[in-house]
Amino acid sequence: MKKKLLSTLLLAGTLLIGSTVSAYAQDVSSDPLQPYEDRLEELSTELGTGLAIVAPEDGTIEDAIDFYSSMSMDEFDSYVKDAYEEAESLDVVTEEYVSEESSSLDVAPLASIAYYQKYFYNSGNTNNYLYVRAYVNSDTSKYTGEVYDIGSVQKSYPSYKCKSASYSFSSNKKTITCNYRVTKYLSSTLIETTTKNISCTFIANGGNISASGSV
């Protein structure tokens, strides 16, 4: 009787262990990114930031899965650390004063000229920039006080993506100060989870500007 009971307990234990292993294997297979996300959490702590895997702008999360699942964990470590180190250069940007009297974006009617101006925040790289399209008067010497569009353009990485923005005009309408809330993209599928503010001031008919001065 005791032998039969012992055999039954051993069989139950074996089945329990087997089902646990099977469930774990099923979890991993159903979420192939999980090992990489777990490692990314460790790397975030190591690097002192928050990192996350996202779907590329022109793709789906399946593209991210295909990209990362082809890497070994050592290759993944190197990829993340190299991308993080390269993206550190983006933090060397000009931080300018932002007026407290800022207004949220209002899209004005297409009745006058919208002057397109860019802020190249990474000196020497003109692929990525923050921009504003603000209306100007007939001789382009002053802004009208209306903005048609404001945001960001990303053509390479690392770069910033504008999540929201505000702006304010000077009293004489000759300058506009823009405040961009941005997310840093280390690559098309890897971002920092914390956002930051970047501010810059454009001059009516003053052209584009960069972190190192006017362009």
SS3 sequence, 10-64? HHHHHHHHHHHHHHHHHHHHHCCCHHHHHHHHHHHHHHCCCEEECCCCCCCHHHH
Average pLDDT on 85-106 reads 56
Amino acid at 165: A
Q: Cβ distance 182 to 198 under 8 Å?
A: yes
Question: Average of pLDDT values for 87-116?
Answer: 56
What is the predicted pLDDT for the residue at 101? 36
Residue 197 has pLDDT above 90, yes or no: yes
Q: Are 73 and 35 in contact (CB under 8 A)?
A: yes
Predicted structure pTM score: 0.77
Confidence at 123, pLDDT banded by 50, 70, 90: confident
Count other C-beta atoms under 10 Å from residue 95's C-beta: 11
Q: What percentage of the chain reaches a pLDDT higher than 90? A: 64
Domain locations along the chain? 90-214
**Residue 13 clears pLDDT 60, i.e. is over it:** no
Q: What is the pLDDT of residues 33-62, one digit of tens each?
A: 999 999 999 999 999 999 999 999 889 999
What angle separates helix 34-47 from helix 73-87, to the nearest 10 degrees? 40
Q: Is residue 109 a contact partner of residue 138, using CB atoms and an 8 Å limit?
A: no
142 pLDDT above the threshold of 50: yes
CA gap 210, 23 in Å, rounded: 54
Residue 196 pLDDT exceeds 60: yes
Residue 107: is its pLDDT beyond 80?
A: no
Whether 84 contacts 144, CB under 8 Å? no
pLDDT band at 105 (very low <50, low <70, confident <90, very high): very low
What pLDDT is stored for residue 125 in this prediction? 85
